[in-house]
């Protein structure tokens, strides 16, 4: 049994890790930049920033309780799978006055996984609108300043997505109402961007060692 365990650790796990990253890169290449240099989060009292982070960005709106299922879907299907990667975070913009509802939501989220990389930023509605408009998408905020869609932002604050999606053509965001979309599309795209940075880091380290 010890020999089998050693063989699994030495050979199987590295292969699984390789396939995890290589599958997405081979199928899609680099994840396209759809909007360059989106707005930074500028909320007084908040230390949360997009720069130098790989961010899943969302807008919960004033009706946090109604979007609890959306957050739980995202937590289970995306966050739980990737939160251990360095510089990864999930950021939710929410209007001020929703603090109690967010507190209740975090309790639900924390029952499934360590939520230390879930970041909630309480902002004025005009700040939320400014940040959302800076994404330059074809998606609109709903009347409560929220949306079920979440967005992938890279370390340079570029919005990443798909420019040849089979269903939408240009795909700016991912609908957290749809578990299938999170499983079949968003998971692949997050894998790709994490693989990009992992490969870039390897190249930098190789260059420095020469």
Strands 88-95 and 146-153: unpaired
d(CA 83, CA 36): 24
Looking at residue 56, its pLDDT comes to 98
Confidence of residue 18 (pLDDT cuts 50, 70, 90): very low
Is 130 contained in some domain?
yes
Is 116 contained in some domain?
yes
- Mean pLDDT over 190-207 rounds to 80
Full residue range of the structural domain in which residue 56 is found:
31-209
Res 22 pLDDT > 80: no
The pLDDT > 70 percentage for the chain reads 82
Looking at residue 137, its pLDDT comes to 98
Please state which of the ranges 10-14, 95-99, 145-149 shows the lowest mean pLDDT. Answer: 10-14
Is 63 contained in some domain?
yes
d(CA 171, CA 162): 5
Is 66 contained in some domain?
yes
Counting the structural domains of the chain, the total is 1
Give per-residue pLDDT as tens, 169-187.
999 999 999 999 999 999 9
Is 182 contained in some domain?
yes
CATH of the domain at 62: 3.40.30.10
Q: Is 79 exposed, middle or buried (0-12, 13-18, 19+ CB in 10 A)?
A: buried
Is 186 contained in some domain?
yes
Looking at residue 34, its pLDDT comes to 98
Length of the chain in terms of residues written: 210
Is 12 contained in some domain?
no
- Integer angstrom CA distances of residue 98 from 10, 44, 61, 118, 182: 48, 17, 9, 16, 26
- Mean pLDDT over 104-120 rounds to 97
Looking at residue 199, its pLDDT comes to 84
Res 207 pLDDT > 60: no
Provide CB contacts within 8 A for 168, sequence distance 6+.
162
d(CA 95, CA 99): 9
Give per-residue pLDDT as tens, 59-76.
999 999 999 999 999 999
Is 16 contained in some domain?
no
Instruction: Write down the pTM of the prediction.
Output: 0.84
């Amino acid at each position: 049994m010890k020999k089998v365990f050693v063989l699994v650790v030495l050979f199987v796990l590295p292969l699984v890790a390789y396939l995890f990253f290589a599958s997405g890169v081979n199928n899609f290449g680099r994840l396209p930049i759809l909007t360059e240099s989106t707005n930074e989060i500028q909320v007084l009292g908040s230390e949360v920033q997009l720069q130098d982070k790989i961010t899943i960005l969302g807008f919960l709106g004033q009706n946090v309780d109604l979007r609890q299922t959306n957050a739980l879907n995202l937590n289970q299907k995306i966050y739980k799978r990737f939160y251990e990667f360095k510089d990864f975070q999930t950021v939710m913009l929410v209007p001020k006055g929703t603090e109690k509802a967010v507190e209740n939501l975090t309790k639900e989220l924390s029952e499934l996984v360590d939520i230390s990389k879930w970041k909630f930023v309480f902002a004025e509605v005009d700040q939320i609108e400014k940040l959302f408009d800076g994404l330059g998408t074809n998606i609109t905020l709903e009347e409560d300043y929220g949306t079920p869609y979440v967005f992938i932002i890279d370390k340079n604050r570029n919005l990443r997505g798909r420019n040849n999606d089979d269903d939408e053509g240009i795909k700016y965001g991912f609908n957290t109402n749809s578990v299938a979309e999170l499983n079949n599309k968003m998971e692949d795209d997050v894998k790709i961007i994490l693989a990009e940075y992992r490969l870039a880091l390897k190249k930098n380290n190789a260059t420095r060692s020469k």
